Structure 1
Amino acid sequence: MPRLAANLSMMFNEVPFLDRFAAAAGCGFRGVEFLFPYEWPAEEVARAARDASVEVCLFNTAAGDWGKGERGYGGLPGREQAFADAVDQAIHYAGVLGCPRIHLMAGLVPQSATREACEAVFVSNLGKAAAKLAAAGLTGLLEPLNTLDAPGYLHNRTDHALGYVAAVASPALKLQLDLYHVQIMEGDLARKVEGLAGRYGHVQIAGNPGRNEPDVGEINYPYLFELFDRIGYTGWIGCEYRPRAATTDGLGWAAPWGIRAA
């Protein structure tokens, strides 16, 4: 049975961020994830999760100025210190929140640099980050982002991300398997789920096209959930989608797995 985690950056936007933990718990979610918690003190976020009895299972390193299109520093030449600082900040938050996974954001390839130069910087940065993560007992995740939603992002395919993981060769690094992104860029999801088993540390879902609830479109999630069960995946499946209307209005898809509108 899938362990569904609510993405609090996209879901339950009807209430302020710190109230979304209780809102998600009220609908039956036992896990939550989000993009960036840094606007709030770590202790306040931890208290909201603790009071709602939900586990924080994933968040990202700082991306920079999201409104201006920044998507992280990991592969940006000249921004090595910014990435190191972002990793240190995320490790601090992870310790307070009891969160075992951090998505390490690579960033967009700048016009002033080649992709090859960015890849070399990213591998070097990942090696240093992996050592810190391993010392803290944490896992760093690399998520390929599709070229429609994130044009110019350093890695767009699972083989790209896994190439970086292999280059660093640290058990502290794994793939983040977002099936929405993978469907757009690669398809063949069932074979990806099976063939990459053991190499991804977290899964995310959304409907495609539209990135709305995973109950319409071209991805058969009930089939994939059964496949995850068959291969023995016991990790979280993050619901990183944009509700078409109020979050609770669109939760009918998740009723078979214990999630219902409060």
Structure 2
Amino acid sequence: MKLAANLSMLFTELPFLDRFGAAKAAGFDAVEFLFPYAFPPEDIAMRLAEHGQGLVLHNLPPGDWEAGERGMACDPRRVDEFRAGVALGLRYAVALGVPQVHCMAGLRPADVAPEQAHSTYIANLRHAADQFAAHGIGVLIEPINHFDMPGYFLTGSRQALGILAACARPNLGLQYDIYHMQRMEGELANTIKANLAQIRHIQIADTPGRHEPGTGEINYPYLFRLLDQLGYDGWIGCEYRPQTTTAASLGWLPR
């Protein structure tokens, strides 16, 4: 398996730029994280080069994260802001050599009808996909459970697959987070089997608690064997909150 440490979740006892070295020391040759925008891309690129790591994923700008915003792609009133975020995300993606970015759908405003949010989301995704395609970079969408993120527009794999079909862009794909989809719909193995061609990135955490594999109800040894049997060759992002410390949480890693 190709495992990437999510530096927004792991090694958080360290300043962000020091987490790269800690991840490398723990055996991770690749990393991912939510957002790079608090740092100049040159600083992040320097840490990646210093530790011989690849960056496999980051998100497009989400709006005001600290105020509770979780993207804006489904909001028809913020199309210009979304496009500015695409331009900023593209600048970072090119500078950091990342092969894929995640575009968060956002929370649907109460006064925006679902149909309008849907059409806005598709138009924005097409725009983002076209901008990134010129640089050979993929754009991903991820269903997120509505328990952790109430009001999020994209909550299920069937909905996501329908949106991908409507967008009809070859560099658009599915980011399948096993934790989120266990909470929303279960049926993990069959969903993965049926949609492997659309799945470009996988993220993992156990439930309840969003802790490391082996702490909850998900049969990760079975799912890892399944992914191997199916020939999944993409990255698996370790996007979990350690139950205690990051170091103590790594016992599940294949050695």
TM range (shorter): over 0.9
SS of the residue corresponding to residue 211 of structure 1 reads coil
Residue 195 of structure 2 is matched in structure 1 by 196
1:222 aligns with 2:224: no
Query: How do residues 101-250 of structure 1 correspond to structure 2 at under 5 angstroms?
Result: 101-250=100-249
| Greater RCO (Cα-Cα under 8 Å, separation 6 or more) | 1
Aligned partner letter, 1:96? A
Poorly superposed stretches of 4+, deviation over 4 Å: none
Aligned identity (percent) is 48
Task: Return the alpha-carbon distance in structure 2 between the equivalents of residues 233 and 69 of structure 1.
Answer: 34
Task: Return the alpha-carbon distance in structure 2 between the equivalents of residues 56 and 43 of structure 1.
Answer: 13
Residue 99 of structure 1 is matched in structure 2 by 98
Q: How many residues align?
A: 255
Query: How do residues 44-83 of structure 1 correspond to structure 2 at under 5 angstroms?
Result: 44-83=43-82
Task: Return the alpha-carbon distance in structure 2 between the equivalents of residues 127 and 27 of structure 1.
Answer: 38
Task: Return the alpha-carbon distance in structure 1 between the equivalents of residues 90 and 200 of structure 2.
Answer: 17
Task: Return the alpha-carbon distance in structure 2 between the equivalents of residues 46 and 222 of structure 1.
Answer: 34
With structure 1 as the length reference, what TM-score do the two structures score?
A: 0.96
Task: Return the alpha-carbon distance in structure 2 between the equivalents of residues 82 and 51 of structure 1.
Answer: 34
Task: Return the alpha-carbon distance in structure 1 between the equivalents of residues 163 and 143 of structure 2.
Answer: 11
Deviation of residue 67 (structure 1)?
Answer: 2.0
Task: Output one character per residue of 1:152-179: Cα deviation in whole Å (capped at 9) or x when no partner.
Answer: 1111001111111111101010000000
Task: Return the alpha-carbon distance in structure 2 between the equivalents of residues 40 and 228 of structure 1.
Answer: 35
Task: Return the alpha-carbon distance in structure 2 between the equivalents of residues 246 and 65 of structure 1.
Answer: 28
| More off after superposition, 83-92 vs 205-214 | 83-92
SS of the residue corresponding to residue 57 of structure 2 reads strand
Task: Return the alpha-carbon distance in structure 2 between the equivalents of residues 203 and 28 of structure 1.
Answer: 19
Task: Output one character per residue of 1:59-86: Cα deviation in whole Å (capped at 9) or x when no partner.
Answer: 1011111122100111111100111111
Deviation of residue 8 (structure 1)?
Answer: 0.1
Aligned partner letter, 1:43? E
SS of the residue corresponding to residue 82 of structure 1 reads helix
Task: Return the alpha-carbon distance in structure 1 between the equivalents of residues 222 and 182 of structure 2.
Answer: 15
RMSD over equivalenced CA pairs, Å: 0.8
Deviation of residue 182 (structure 1)?
Answer: 0.6
With structure 2 as the length reference, what TM-score do the two structures score?
A: 0.98
